[in-house]
Chain A
């Protein structure tokens, strides 16, 4: 992946964030290092005279020595004072010199730092690019792994969902089938009972109507027969009455009596 670091300075070089961080990280130690050199350089310039320099202990020691000298030698107070002033002036001058050198050195260091940054910029970019690529690769791999894992999880979840759905569907199906079967049984039972009841009712009604019709028919036929028989018997009786004398009549009655007693079973009940 190609990218350009942002240029914060137009014209010469552009200080990137990385360079800036690197510069700050390097510059501050260098500055401290510069100050350290300056002190060291002064020590080198002043030889073994540690009256003026080294550290704060030396400083305190110096003033304590001066005080002691002043107290000890009142006579040379003024001379020493002057001498001290001179020393101070010289120290000031030296310090200014040292600062100038340090500044020059710092400038030099800054320049070197800049050069180093410029040289390493490409490398840094390349490294960053490599890092980015690696990171990208890693992220890609990670993404792929995550994707694969996610895909596997999804597939597993999908399979689980499908299995669960299938089980739920199967359970619902079985439940529905059971419900339908029960409903079917109930409907069948109710239908059969209703059908039986209806059939019984129809049969009863039919039997009732049939009995009524038969009764009506029987009564009608019976009435008709009675009328016919009465007619016939009347004819027979009228004819018989004309034909019967007492002897025949008595003989007829006796024959009928004997026949009736034989056929009706009155013999056993009289």
Chain B
């Protein structure tokens, strides 16, 4: 019995983790919160497709597949307590996640988002002394007139990666004016 409970708990945690990892950005997280709110407000058997259409329209976000796969109630139309707990747990993790805000001039690819999360997770793991329970949400702010590069805001720190500044810093650090001009 205990083994079964542990297995169920493990499955639940894995489901949470998979769904949360699929969210990645703040926009997706907001969509999940919106969807979970709509689902939690309903009781009994429901039409999931209709609910999704009500929330997202015809275009469904990419993370929906992982959500439906890991929350069995979304497949049957009847949310069990376990499903509701998963949704609530994911919402809690979203609320507790570290937000990495990025200003840049274009909409980044999934690869870029994944890379940013991985890089930041490695850094935060080191900062948290090896803890792997670090949840990150990337908030991408696209500014079309933004110059090449990006600016990251993490835990109150600003990481200015604009190419202009990097070039200027490089020129300063190399004392280009005195050495070459």
**A residues in contact (CB < 8 Å) with B:** 221, 224-226, 228-230, 232-234, 236-237, 240-241, 244, 246-247, 249-250, 252-254, 256-258, 260-261, 264, 266-270
Q: In the complex, A236→B147 CA distance in Å?
A: 12
Question: What mask results when residues 109 to 120 of chain B are scored 1 for a CB within 8 Å of chain A, else 0?
Answer: 101100110011
Q: Say whether B177 contacts A250, CB under 8 Å.
A: no
Q: Say whether A233 contacts B161, CB under 8 Å.
A: no
Q: Which residues of A contact B165 (CB under 8 A)?
A: 233
Q: Say whether A237 contacts B167, CB under 8 Å.
A: yes
Q: Say whether A229 contacts B172, CB under 8 Å.
A: yes
Least CB distance from B31 to A in Å reads: 23
Q: Say whether B123 contacts A256, CB under 8 Å.
A: no
Q: Say whether B148 contacts A244, CB under 8 Å.
A: yes
Measured CB to CB, the nearest residue on chain B to A236 is: B167
Q: Say whether B177 contacts A256, CB under 8 Å.
A: no
Given A252-B149, A266-B157, the answer on whether A233 and B163 have CB atoms closer than 8 Å is: yes
Measured CB to CB, the nearest residue on chain A to B158 is: A266
Q: Which residues of A contact B164 (CB under 8 A)?
A: 230, 233-234, 236-237
B124 at the interface (CB under 8 A from A): yes
Q: Say whether B177 contacts A257, CB under 8 Å.
A: no
Q: Which residues of A contact B166 (CB under 8 A)?
A: 256
Given contacts A232-B171, A270-B154, 17 further A-B contacts (CB under 8 A): A224-B177, A225-B172, A230-B168, A232-B176, A233-B164, A233-B168, A236-B164, A237-B167, A250-B108, A252-B149, A253-B149, A253-B161, A257-B159, A266-B154, A267-B123, A267-B126, A269-B127
B152 at the interface (CB under 8 A from A): yes
B104 at the interface (CB under 8 A from A): yes
Least CB distance from B19 to A in Å reads: 25
Least CB distance from B100 to A in Å reads: 10
B155 at the interface (CB under 8 A from A): yes
Q: In the complex, A81→B142 CA distance in Å?
A: 205
Given A225-B172, A240-B163, the answer on whether A258 and B119 have CB atoms closer than 8 Å is: yes
Least CB distance from B147 to A in Å reads: 6
Q: In the complex, A221→B178 CA distance in Å?
A: 10
B150 at the interface (CB under 8 A from A): yes
B63 at the interface (CB under 8 A from A): no
User: Total contacts A to B, CB within 8 angstroms?
Assistant: 95
Q: Say whether A253 contacts B112, CB under 8 Å.
A: yes
Least CB distance from A24 to B in Å reads: 140
B2 at the interface (CB under 8 A from A): no
Of the residues B106, B108, B159, B181, contact of A260 by C-beta under 8 Å: B159
Given A225-B177, A261-B123, the answer on whether A246 and B163 have CB atoms closer than 8 Å is: no
Q: Which residues of A contact B159 (CB under 8 A)?
A: 257, 260-261, 264, 266
Q: Which residues of B contact A230 (CB under 8 A)?
A: 164, 168
Measured CB to CB, the nearest residue on chain B to A258 is: B119
Least CB distance from A236 to B in Å reads: 5
Q: Say whether A229 contacts B148, CB under 8 Å.
A: no
Q: In the complex, A253→B112 CA distance in Å?
A: 9
Q: Say whether B112 contacts A232, CB under 8 Å.
A: no
Task: Give chain B interface residues in 123-181, CB to chain A under 8 Å.
Answer: 123-124, 126-127, 147-150, 152, 154-155, 157, 159, 161, 163-168, 171-172, 176-177, 181
Of the residues B106, B154, B167, B172, contact of A249 by C-beta under 8 Å: B106
Q: In the complex, A261→B127 CA distance in Å?
A: 12
Measured CB to CB, the nearest residue on chain B to A235 is: B167
